[in-house]
Amino acid sequence: MRLRSAIVSSVASDSHTWNLVFLHLLLEEIGFEVANLGASVPDDTLLSECTQLEPDLVVISSVNGHGYHDGIRVVRQLRSQPSLVNTPMVIGGKLGICGDLSPAEASSLIEAGFDAVFDDSSELASFTSFVCELPIRAAS
C-alpha cells in the first residue's frame, strides 16, 4: 500500500518556515509522504510541483497575514489545472493582517477553491480530523 502524499507550502509573500516544518512532521505522523516546498514559494513553482506530483492533499500555510489574498490567487491557479480539480486543498495560519478572518472572508477562500480554512482561531484537532477523514485514492 502506498502512502498518501501531501504538498506543504507557504505563499509567495511569506518567508516563515517553522509552521511548514511543524505541518510536515504532523502529516508524516498521520501517514503522509510529504513534499515540503518551503517558504516564499512562487505561484508558478507551486503550480508546477502540484501538477507534477499530483498529491492527495495540498496544504498552504501562512503566518505573515497575507495568506488570504495570496491564497485566493494561488488556489484559482491550482484549480484551473484539470489534474488538480478534485485534489483536497486547505489553507491555514494567520491569514489576515487584522486578526481572525470574518465568516465572509473564510467563505471567499472556499468559493475560490479551498476545501477547508483553518485560521489562527482553529484548533489543531480540526485540521487533523479533516486530514484523517480524507478518502484514500486508488493507486494509479
Give pLDDT tens digits for 75-99. 999 999 999 999 999 999 988 888 7
C-alpha span between 100 and 68 (Å, rounded): 11
Q: Lowest-pLDDT range, 14-28, 43-57, 97-111? A: 97-111
Task: Tell me whether residue 24 is in a domain.
Answer: no
Q: Summarize pLDDT for 110-138 with one digit per residue, the tens.
A: 999 999 999 887 889 999 999 999 987 76
Task: Residue 51: name the closest of 8, 7, 12 by CA.
Answer: 7
Task: Domain of residue 70: give its range.
Answer: 56-99+112-122
What is the total count of domains within the chain? Answer: 1
Supply the pLDDT for residue 97.
82
**SS3 state of residue 60:** strand
Task: Tell me whether residue 95 is in a domain.
Answer: yes
Supply the pLDDT for residue 98.
81
C-alpha span between 53 and 30 (Å, rounded): 19
pTM score > 0.75 for this model?
A: yes
Supply the pLDDT for residue 96.
84
Task: Tell me whether residue 72 is in a domain.
Answer: yes
Q: Is 9 left (phi over 0), alpha (psi -120 to 50) or beta?
A: beta
Q: What percent of the chain has pLDDT over 90?
A: 78
C-alpha span between 28 and 43 (Å, rounded): 24
pLDDT at residue 4 tops 90: yes
Q: C-alpha cell of 52?
A: 507534477
Task: Tell me whether residue 9 is in a domain.
Answer: no
Task: Tell me whether residue 90 is in a domain.
Answer: yes
